[in-house]
Amino acid sequence: MIGLLRGRILAKQPPRLLVDVQGVGYEVDAPMTTFYDLPAVGEEVTLHTHLAVREDAHTLYGFLQLADRELFRNLLKVNGVGARLALGILSGMDSRQFIACVQGGDADALVRLPGIGKKTAERLIIELRDRLPKSAAGEELAGSGQQRPRTIGSPVEDAVSALVGLGYKPQEASRMVRLIDTKTLSSEEIIRQALQSMVQ
């Protein structure tokens, strides 16, 4: 099991990044809540990772905060929730927001996330209510405050591609991005605004 990676970021294409660890390039999928706080390409990063093994693929998922990885693993224990859906959940809201929804029984907020229907939202609340902490570790889950780096390529195209990768249908992802004034925004900022508009 690969539990942690420390290396230099070679490329970022949400929701995937490429990390060089002593000459070996690891492809890592990360939720947007992690992407927002990643350092720039070329800088070093430490990621807490989870390796998902299937018959047709081995996929690494990375998180800046250990608490986010633990929440990801708790989500995987819920019946009907796979790694891709868990990644979408953690992209749509941060750990504190999710825990507050579960503890407060707010199914309406959860169904706004990609791939979450009423039954899945209720299942998340029932199965996770006693498994999650009463409140997330505040300082650990706070953003780093670093400037958001830009990705290479068209920010709008990158944002739409990332939203599709997180579970939104292509037409829905395009519609979400069209509602935003994208002229001066990076792809991460466009994705953040699009996701926020869905959970408000």
Q: What is the pLDDT of residues 52-78, one digit of tens each?
A: 988 888 999 999 999 899 999 999 999
**One-character DSSP codes across 133-177:** -SS--HHHHS---PPPPPPSS-HHHHHHHHHHHTT--HHHHHHHH
What's this model's pTM, rounded to 2 decimal places? Answer: 0.71
- The proportion of the chain whose per-residue pLDDT surpasses 70, expressed as a percent, equals 88
According to the model, what pLDDT value does residue 42 have? 96
Contact 160, 174 (CB under 8 A): yes
According to the model, what pLDDT value does residue 96 have? 86
Residue 189 has pLDDT above 70, yes or no: yes
- Reference 144, options 61, 37, 50; nearest CA is 37
User: Residue 78 carries which DSSP code?
Assistant: S
Of 3.20.20.70, 3.20.20.150, 2.40.50.140, 3.30.360.10, the CATH number of 4-63 is 2.40.50.140
CA atoms within 13 A on the CB side of 94: 18
Hey, where are the domains in the chain? 4-63
- Reference 52, options 89, 27, 22; nearest CA is 27
Residue 51 has pLDDT above 90, yes or no: yes
For residue range 108-144, list pLDDT tens digits in order.
989 988 788 899 999 999 999 888 876 444 333 333 3
Residue 153 has pLDDT above 80, yes or no: no
